[in-house]
Chain A
């Protein structure tokens, strides 16, 4: 089996085993063993909730650092519009672009224009599609992982269109290769990311072999250098930046994709719980009258990614006001984008493989037997889901016991209940 690359890693030396991560993991992918958190790699869907919750910094996002890009002759910072919503309201996008150049990037541009183009591509795909509905947005890497692991029967509903960051990276690289006469590998395209899950999409892009992006730097890592660089910049210093525009500016907000589409029968959902409810409805054969569902793992969409700095609601407000101010002017005319779509400029031909969670046993009969035993064990457990055993719930602990990954004696509550009884019976014997 191929290994799993994950967007976060646990640093055992910083972990105190305090179980904050254990309780928030939506897929029960964390156990605390011998006082340290460990990750069950096949269960993790890279949502980043654990990293968000850990106050010790023991869950480390696997994003790039600045030194990773020293090998490139020319570097381009690819901006998620979320970054525009992170700084003071009077710091305009072109100031941010200029500040990124000052920090050391040779060029900076955002992915909003690519997002707008991808919206048109999605519209074209929907118009020509005749299969089962609704189709699902494939742009949140955590949602793709969730579907691979828990809803494998819905994989074919993920739209086979490449993400804005990939399209933007390919465009800017080609442009710079032509302009500067550089080779492909001499240009580094670096995404400034609001969440660690994008790193998964860069290392293992769905439906293709290699990403157009060379790495990703966390918005939280670039925030302070950026603040310093914008602090002493006058408004005049940054008039040469590229114009910021297009309906794609709204993409990081829940509903941003849907509102830039022409398709009328669509939904936008944010937050894993709500996304799962929608996916369950779709599994039950409902929502067949909806064409497109925009799904975000984070409840405030990319504005609330775990590598952002500012409050997600404040960020959302700033993005919406940027959208109102600059979003009305399209980046490219729709006909041009439609022609590109016809030439398969946005399409991804490959398939997304499912990676369903392993059943309790490969043999159905044995799996049923193990499930029965797990239920039996669970019945004698205290049912308070305290986590002291290192598993998030009594049922997950019982399953771990059946799978020989834990011993029943690790339930301290059960042991504490038995101790007085044994002491009592001991006395009886003595008497």
Chain B
């Protein structure tokens, strides 16, 4: 079963690029507003996108973030090239983090990224291959 998306746009995210960190999420938020998505849905999508984008900036080399809007839902897929997550179950636990001291000093790495995404999305799937990268796929119903 596949639904033809009404809308599809891709964004590139670069690891360690703190100057542009958050721009993809801000653009996505603006698009969702322009096309008339309800504010409550936008807020959840914004938080989930931002956390996913920051995960790429903090931990991966680069990623493609893809926004798709169907008549039923918003789907966001983030496919990164990076170290991957050895234990996805543990990474989902609130407070668990592998962040370096440097990252923590910047105010990140509290171990709330994936739990926050899970709380804000209706569905979340994570596929990760250690040494290759991680793909997140989340959906929020309209």
Chain A nearest CB from B98 CB (Å) reads: 20
B80, CB-defined interface residue at 8 Å: no
Q: Indicate if A354 sits at the interface (CB-CB under 8 A).
A: yes
Which residues of A have CB within 8 Å of B71?
A: 364-365
In the complex, chain A residues whose CB is within 8 Å of the CB of B31:
371
Judge if B69 is at the interface, Cβ distance under 8 Å. yes
Taking the complex as formed, is A362 at the interface, i.e. its CB lies under 8 A from any CB of chain B? yes
Do B36 and A361 have beta carbons less than 8 Å apart?
yes
**Number of residues of chain A lying within 8 A (CB) of chain B:** 21
A residues near B51, Cβ cutoff 8 Å: 285
How far, in whole Å, are A285 and B47 apart by their CA atoms in the complex? 6
- Given the known interface contacts A283-B29, A284-B25, A285-B116, the answer about A364 and B35 at a Cβ–Cβ threshold of 8 Å is yes
The answer, among A150, A280, A284, A362, for a CB contact under 8 Å with B36, is A362
Among B37-45, B58-66, B122-130, B133-141, which stretch is in contact with chain A?
A: B37-45
Any B CB within 8 A of the CB of A152: yes
Question: Do B50 and A153 touch across chains, with their CB atoms under 8 A apart?
Answer: no
List residues of chain B with CB within 8 A of the CB of A356. Answer: 33, 39
Interface size of B as a range: 20 to 34
From known contacts A285-B51, A364-B6, A364-B142, infer whether A357 and B25 are also in contact, taking CB-CB under 8 Å: no
A372 to B7, CA, bound (A): 9
CB 8 Å contact bits of B1-26 with A (1 = contact, 0 = none): 00000110000000000000010011
In whole angstroms, what is the CA distance A153 to B46 when docked? 11
A408 within 8 A of B: no
Instruction: Across the interface, name the chain B residue whose C-beta is closest to A151.
Output: B39
A368 to B67, CA, bound (A): 13
> Contact at B39–A367, with CB atoms within 8 Å?
no
B33 and A368 contact, CB distance less than 8 A:
no
- A280-B26, A284-B50, A285-B116 given; A367·B43 CB < 8 A: no
**What's the minimum C-beta distance from A280 to chain B, rounded to whole angstroms?**
6
Does A377 lie at the interface of the complex (its beta carbon under 8 Å from any beta carbon of B)? no
Q: Which residues of B have CB within 8 Å of A283?
A: 29, 43, 46-47
A368 touches B46 (CB 8 A): no
Which of the residues A153, A363, A367, A371 comes within 8 Å of B42, measured between beta carbons? A153
- Nearest opposing residue in chain B for A284, CB measure: B50
Given A153-B39, A354-B39, A364-B142, do A284 and B46 touch, yes or no (CB 8 Å)?
A: yes
How far in angstroms is the closest Cβ of chain A from B59? Answer: 18
Contacts of A365 in B (CB 8 A): 6, 71
Q: How many Å from the CB of B40 to the closest CB on chain A?
A: 7
Which partner residue on chain A sits nearest B50 by CB separation?
A284
Residue of A356, A357, A364 contacting most chain B CB atoms (<10 Å): A364
Contacts of A225 in B (CB 8 A): none
Residues of A within 8 A of B42 (CB): 153
Are A367 and B35 in touch, CB under 8 angstroms?
yes
Within 8 A of A (CB), among B70-129: 71, 116
Hey, which chain A residues are within 8 Å of B40, CB to CB? 153
Contact residues in A for B29 (Cβ distance below 8 Å) = 280, 283
B51: nearest chain-A partner, CB-CB:
A285
User: Please, which residues of chain B bring their CB within 8 A of the CB of A364?
Assistant: 6, 35-37, 69, 71, 142
Contact with B along A150-186 (1 / 0, CB 8 A): 1011000000000000000000000000000000000
Residues of B within 8 A of A280 (CB): 22, 26, 29
User: In whole angstroms, how far apart are the Cα atoms of A285 and B39 in the complex?
Assistant: 15
Sample of 6 more A-B contacts, CB < 8 Å, known A359-B33, A364-B35: A150-B33, A153-B40, A285-B46, A359-B34, A371-B34, A371-B35
Top 7 A-B pairs, shortest CB-CB distance: A359-B36, A284-B50, A153-B43, A367-B35, A285-B47, A153-B39, A152-B39
